[in-house]
Structure formats: C-alpha cells, structure tokens
Amino acid sequence: MTNTDRARLIVGVSGASGVAYGLRALDACRELGVESHLILSKAAALTIAQETDLSLADVQARADVVHKVGDVGASVASGSYPTLGMIVAPCSVRTMSEVATGVTSSLLTRAADVTLKERRPLVLMVRETPLHLGHLRTMVKLAEMGAVIAPPLPAFYARPASLEEMVDQSVGRALDLFGLAWRPVKRWGQDVGPLRGED
C-alpha cells in the first residue's frame, strides 16, 4: 500500500454461529482507523437474525464499504486492490472448504483466494466442533497454503468477566496477526500474569 492509501481490511462473515466476532472486528476497524470492507454470505444474514437483535442494515452500517456476496467484480476480488489482508469471522466449514479447493462461488471465497495468492494474511476464525478428519485435513491444507487457522477459543488467563470480553479477546488476538493492536486485548506479562519486573 502507498502512503496515500488508508489501511484496509476485508471482513468476511459466513453463516457459522458466532456473528459477534465479525461485528466486533468491524467495530475494531472503526476504532483503529482501518477501512473495513464487509462481505456477508447469504447464510450470515440468517445467523444475524438468530443470534442478534440487529437488522442487516444495522450490521452493514458498521462497515465503511459493503460488497454484495455475488459481486465477483468488486474491488476486493482483484489482487491489484491493496489491503492488509482478510479475516473471516466466523468462518464456516463450507467457506473454509471452498477456499481450500480454490473453486470459489462467491465474493467471500474469491476475496479469500485472492488474499492467499497475493501472500497477504488470511485469518479464518473457524467455528465448528467436534472436528472430523476431513475438517482437520482441510485445515492442514489451508495452513500449507498460507492461511492462519484461528478458532475463537477463550483465553481464561485474561479472566473475562463477560461474554463480550471473551469475544473481544479473540477478535483482538486475530487482529494482532495483521499488525493491528486493539485496546481491549489483555496481554500476558503486560496486563495479566507475571508483570514486568516480577520474579
């Protein structure tokens, strides 16, 4: 990216449970001054209705730019469009599997594929459990391709007092992978745990 470009991050939201991760990623981008480019899968709209009291318009309003999932001609579908990379939060097994094959059927997976080919960070907050061997093999394949598999697991050392704090910790740690330091993250040896200067 040139000095005149504002930092941009693609935020994909698939239909897996955990839409709060994507919402907070958008909020974090706003707080950090990073331009967010949102892509919602069709199934994500159903999850939003199930897990929140927000309308689709409410969610879209949190992003700087909203791309239609069927618009494969969007800016983020091209590697010539500079971004910091892409986070998919949450990432469904279907989305993960489509990216792993390189056979993309929507802008969500096309943008992820472009992110990989451009050697930019692709962070997949995969939401599924338990995992069968096929899921695990797909994750290995993606890791070999350069993606980061970052399931949103709670960091109990941060002693979260609420579900919101648990979500923020997971999102913040994922954003660390783009070089973005978000205020809510509690860091070992800095905010919690053995602090500097202690034995």
For each of the domains in the chain, give its residue range(s) and CATH number, in order of start.
8-176 (3.40.50.1950)
Read off the pLDDT band of 93 (50, 70, 90): very high
Of 15, 17, 7, 59, the closest CA to residue 38 belongs to: 59
Residue pLDDT, tens place only, 176-195: 999 999 999 999 999 988 76
Residue pLDDT, tens place only, 157-171: 999 999 999 999 999
Residue pLDDT, tens place only, 7-46: 999 999 999 999 999 999 999 999 999 999 999 999 999 9
Residue pLDDT, tens place only, 106-135: 999 999 999 999 999 999 999 999 999 999
Question: In terms of pTM, does the model score above 0.85?
Answer: yes
Q: What average pLDDT is seen over the chain? A: 95
Nearby residues of 171 by Cβ (< 8 Å), 6 or more positions away: 21, 24, 25, 28, 89, 152, 182
**Least confident stretch, 23-32, 79-88, 144-153, 185-194:** 185-194
- pLDDT score at 195: 66
Judge residue 18's burial from the number of C-beta atoms within 10 Å of its C-beta, 0-12 exposed, 13-18 middle, 19 or more buried. Answer: buried
Mean pLDDT (whole number) for 136-156:
97
- pLDDT score at 134: 98
User: Would you give the distance in Å from CA 149 to the centre of its chain?
Assistant: 10
Read off the pLDDT band of 3 (50, 70, 90): very low
- pLDDT score at 5: 73
Read off the pLDDT band of 196 (50, 70, 90): low
Positive or negative: CA dihedral 107, 50, 122, 177: positive
- Bigger pLDDT: 66 or 1? 66
Percent of the chain with pLDDT over 90: 91
- pLDDT score at 36: 98
Nearby residues of 198 by Cβ (< 8 Å), 6 or more positions away: none
